[in-house]
Amino acid sequence: MHISTHARRLTLTLGALALTAAMAQADEFVLSANGHLNDFPQTEKGYWTETLSCLGKYQHLNLGVFDLTHNISEDPANTEPAYSWSGFIVCTNGSDADMLAEPGGWIANQWGCMAGGGIKAIGDDNTPEVEKGLPYFLGYWSYYLDNSMDMHTCEIKFNTDGPCTPQGVFVCPAPWAYYGNMEGDGWARPLNQEGDIETLIFHGVGADGTELATVTHTLAKAVPDGDGYRCEQNPAWQWVDLTALGDVTSVYMTMETTDNDPQYGPNSAMYFCLDRLTVIGTAGIGNVAADAPADAPAEYFTIDGRKVANPTAGLYIVRRGNTATKVLVK
């Protein structure tokens, strides 16, 4: 277990009394799977081994203050593996190749990333440094589940003391969607007709569950090309400004495309890649007693004051005697 002090260190010298009032400050939280691959082991093809697990314990991915939805579709016999997934998974595949003609086609090879891999670091000009083999988040949005089951298949919730203000996120196309939009994939047609467009929409949800605002990012669009049109897409990681969402407790994503079936929804592959979601939030410390002797062993508490015997990756309050420090366990 690796422990590092959070970007903004909070050290509290306490008396014999319990710390009952929430002492809070704004912090920047960045969603990244770097350093979390022990929690999300990878197959030889570079995707999470539990992507299609039917064991029922993977209904979300937890990375510190972030909870990402993960859904599976089981057959009636509840046999392993499930036959489909939606939401988010962690991948390291990084391939930007067209896999339509490969063995198993796109179903067996859906794990890539057009940018070539996850983000290692961010430059001073907000340009991402990309490295193949680093993890990123692959998202699959299910039109059916969102519209028939009244659920958000691609949602990220914030485990903070109150709402967060999203700053932005890096997004790039997934290869199945990218090549399908360019050339078709046997189901989807190319987006090469006047008015064709594919978008990723971010919805901000307030504390009372109501939608507050949206931000729309264009993944693909048809642009004039001679006497016709061609599909224009950017394969690189692109920063999407999310500050317009305001103060929210979660963000969910939907997708839209002009290649739609009137009954069954999108023909286009509704995949996208995501990394480095950045939010400003408040990590409060409440009800953490601090009356132990100074040489007492370290005790771990969640940001809402619950004691944890075996902390996993995430943000914690560590108490040693009469001092409490906020740390990030990796």
Which pLDDT band, with edges at 50, 70 and 90, does 11 fall under?
very low
The residues that bridge with 279 in the sheet, in sequence order, are: 29, 166
Angle at 110 between CA 106 and CA 114, to 5 degrees: 110
User: Is pLDDT above 70 for 209?
Assistant: yes
Q: pLDDT tens digit string along 96-120? A: 999 999 999 999 999 999 999 999 9
| pTM metric for this prediction | 0.79
pLDDT at res. 288:
39
pLDDT at res. 25:
59
pLDDT at res. 329:
72
User: For 159-187, what is the mean pLDDT?
Assistant: 95
Torsion of CA 145, 110, 279, 315, to 10 degrees: 100
Q: pLDDT tens digit string along 26-38? A: 789 999 999 899 9
pLDDT at res. 57:
55
Task: Identify which has the larger pLDDT, 219 or 60.
Answer: 219
Instruction: Give the 3-state secondary structure of 256-288.
Output: EECCEECCCEECCCCEEEEEEEEEEEECCECCE
Which pLDDT band, with edges at 50, 70 and 90, does 130 fall under?
very high
User: For 219-242, what is the mean pLDDT?
Assistant: 98
Any idea what DSSP says for residue 164?
A: B
User: For 146-151, what is the mean pLDDT?
Assistant: 85
User: Is pLDDT above 80 for 320?
Assistant: no
pLDDT at res. 307:
63
Q: What percent of the chain stands above pLDDT 70? A: 79
Task: Identify which has the larger pLDDT, 99 or 23.
Answer: 99
pLDDT at res. 19:
34
Which pLDDT band, with edges at 50, 70 and 90, does 61 fall under?
very high
User: Is pLDDT above 60 for 3?
Assistant: no
The residues spanned by each domain of the chain are 3-24+284-329, 30-278
Q: Which fold has domain 30-278?
A: Jelly Rolls (2.60.120)
For the ranges 165-174, 233-242, 295-304, which has the lowest average pLDDT? 295-304
Question: DSSP letters along 22-86, please?
Answer: -B--EEEEE---TT-TTTS-B-TTSBBTTTT--SS--SEEEETTEEEEEEEE--TT-PSSPSEEE
Taking the C-alpha atoms of residue 323 and residue 54, their distance in angstroms, rounded to an integer, is 43
Which pLDDT band, with edges at 50, 70 and 90, does 325 fall under?
low
Residue 306 tokens, joined: 């619950």
Residue 166 tokens, joined: 């999203």
Q: What percent of the chain stands above pLDDT 90? A: 62
pLDDT at res. 258:
98
Task: Identify which has the larger pLDDT, 4 or 250.
Answer: 250
